[in-house]
Amino acid sequence: MTLIDRTRARGVETLTLDSPHNRNALSAALVTGLAAALTDAGKDPGVRAVVLTHTGTTFSAGADLRDPPDPDALVALLRQIVELPKPVIARVTGHVRAGGLGLLAACDVAVASTTSTYAFTEVRIGVAPAVISLTVLPRTDPRAVARHYLTGERFDAAEATRLGLVTAAGDDVDAVLAPVLDGVRRASPQGLAETKRLLTARVLEAFDRDAADLTALSARLFSSPQAREGMTAFLERRDPEWVV
């Protein structure tokens, strides 16, 4: 089954997450497929930039609880997006949850529709947004994002823009995207690569410093009794036992 659709127009490679059965959750297969597509795009001199988008009403629901990716593979995918020597631009018209926000934050630019919604839901299943903090925290104000990390509540595109998760939002996402694509098409490949290197230096410092510890934390939390209860409750569509 193909989970990543690829199309190209005037030097822009569009990679579409196409796993509707699980709302584009980050399964082991989707992570592997997206990494392969990004590798191909990175090596292809005909690709000036990558647009990452989705089918359906959800950009990504986060980690697939039935078929989760290896934490190291997720770290590698996020780093691959950050290190790709070409801009990666997220195009969001639906919902983004948990690990999907790490994917969004790894992108260099994110444009979204005003109807899109967001939530860091990890605390509600007994874990923490550990691995995705590698991309989220360097690109947001930790004080501003603390409320959403701690409560798991849903927020809108305007709040996502205020936090720095989204670059720009509008009723017509393609109208918002158009000048961005025009800009990267006018830029030289060398200029794009070196400018991206400047912009991502602080994010890569977080990977070098924290990736091993956060991967270990994620593994420990996901194997804990509270996480097992939280994931079971989620799959059974009920409140976990700690809700008061």
- Alpha-carbon distance of 87 to 108, in angstroms, equals 6
Residues 118-145 have pLDDT tens digits of 999 999 999 999 999 999 999 998 899 9
| Global confidence as pTM | 0.96
Buried b (16+ CB within 10 A) or exposed e, 207-243: beebbeebbebbeebbeeeebeebbebbeeeeebeee
pLDDT surpasses 80 at 2: no
pLDDT on residue 139: 94
pLDDT on residue 1: 62
Residue 56 region by backbone torsions, left for phi larger than 0, else alpha for psi between -120 and 50, else beta:
left
- Alpha-carbon distance of 116 to 166, in angstroms, equals 10
Residues 209-226 have pLDDT tens digits of 999 999 999 999 999 999
Q: Indicate the pLDDT class of residue 65, thresholds 50, 70 and 90.
A: confident
Two tokens at 132?
Answer: 């995705």
What's the average model confidence in pLDDT over 9-31?
97
User: H/E element holding 194?
Assistant: helix 189-222
Helix (H, G, I), strand (E, B) or coil at 231: helix
Decide the pairing of beta strands 155-156 and 117-119: antiparallel
Residues 144-176 have pLDDT tens digits of 999 999 999 999 999 999 999 999 999 999 999
